[in-house]
Amino acid sequence: MYSGQYNVAKVGSVIPVKITLGCNGTPLTGLAPTIQLIQGDVDGTTDTGTNDVTTTSVSSADTTGIMRFAAPQYIYNLQVPSAPSGTQFTIRVRPFGDSDPADGMYVLIKIK
C-alpha cells in the first residue's frame, strides 16, 4: 500500500496494515494506534468523520479499530468490505490514537 496512489484490493481480501513507531531506532510500546476505514478518497484536510464505515479484522487477536503491538511494529489484519468494483475507501491510521485528529496517515484503496 502506498500513500498518494490507488491501491487495488479485492472484496473480502485481507490487507495486513503495519506501522512502526519509534525514536532513534527504539520501538515505542504501550500505544494504541487507531485504524478506521472511510468511504471515499479522504485525506487530513477533508476527513470530517462522517463517512466512517465498519472496520473489521480477520484476526481474533485484533480489537476492532485498534492496532496491536507485535514487536517491533503495530499491526491490524484489515478485511476489505463488500462493495461494487471501483468503490474507493481510505484507510486512516492515527499512531497516537484519536486524541489528535490532525495526526493521521491516509492510504487510498480501490475495489477491483
Answering whether pTM is above 0.85, one says yes
Residue 2 lies in a domain: no
Residue 83 lies in a domain: yes
Q: Which residues contact 61 (CB under 8 A, 6 or more apart)?
A: 68
Which CATH number does the domain housing residue 18 bear?
2.60.40
**Per-residue pLDDT reduced to its tens digit, 9-56:** 999 999 999 999 888 889 899 999 999 999 999 988 888 889 999 999
**What is the extent of the structural domain holding 67?**
7-111
Is 1 part of a structural domain of the chain? no
What pLDDT was estimated at residue 99? 65
The answer for residues whose C-beta is within 8 angstroms of residue 73's C-beta and 6 or more apart is 18, 19, 20, 21, 27
Cell of 43: 485525506
Question: What gap in Å lies between CA 61 and CA 54, rounded to an integer?
Answer: 18
Q: What are phi and psi of 92, to 5 degrees?
A: -110, 130
Assess if residue 43 is contained within a domain: yes
Per the listing, cell 477491483 goes with 112
87 found inside a domain: yes
What does DSSP say about strands 34-39 and 88-94: parallel, antiparallel, or unpaired? Answer: antiparallel
Residue 48 pLDDT:
86
Domain count of the fold of the chain? 1
Position 40 in a domain? yes
Residue at 73 is within a domain: yes
